[in-house]
Amino acid sequence: MTDSTSTSTDAVLDRARFGADGLLPAVVQEESSKDVLMLGYMDREALRRTLTEGRVTFWSRSRNEYWRKGDTSGHAQYVRGAAFDCDADTLLVTVEQVGAACHTGAHRCFDVDPLDPVTATAPTSTVASAPASGAVEATR
């Protein structure tokens, strides 16, 4: 790793807002399908490894150790992109998924236990284009 890469990685790590437990939720999305595959947690070191090694690394809350998807199963996640949310307290990692993402063998962890919520239709948009001044009007 070059000094500039190290410096930029350190700057990213400093921007991350880890929870009181020292962890950052990481949503993993498949690049090709845009499917949300799973949710894992990263501490500072897991985030550093993910950003610098090209493979997704998590902190296992149950085993209290690092784990890299695919090291034992062969179902690996290769990093294609990463972004913080607006508060830098959640990470989205875009990956090329090889094999199943879920430890159950399902492609997505969210395929395992689907729920049947009541659904609703969004009302027709009432948001007009922003005023010429660029200000955004709040609606209540």
**DSSP code at position 69:** T
pTM for the full predicted model:
0.81
- Say how far apart CA 3 and CA 11 lie, in whole Å: 12
- Say how far apart CA 38 and CA 109 lie, in whole Å: 5
What strand order describes the sheet that includes 24-30? 36-42, 24-30, 91-97, 77-84
**DSSP code at position 35:** -
The pLDDT tens digits of the residues spanning 102-136 come to: 989 999 999 999 999 999 999 987 766 555 555 55
Long-range contacts of 58-64 (CB under 8 A, 24+ apart): 58/26, 59/23, 61/23
The pLDDT tens digits of the residues spanning 37-78 come to: 999 999 999 999 999 999 999 999 999 999 998 898 889 999
Mean pLDDT of 8-33: 97
- Say how far apart CA 109 and CA 129 lie, in whole Å: 39
Q: Which residues make Cβ contacts (< 8 Å) with residue 133, sequence separation at least 6? A: none
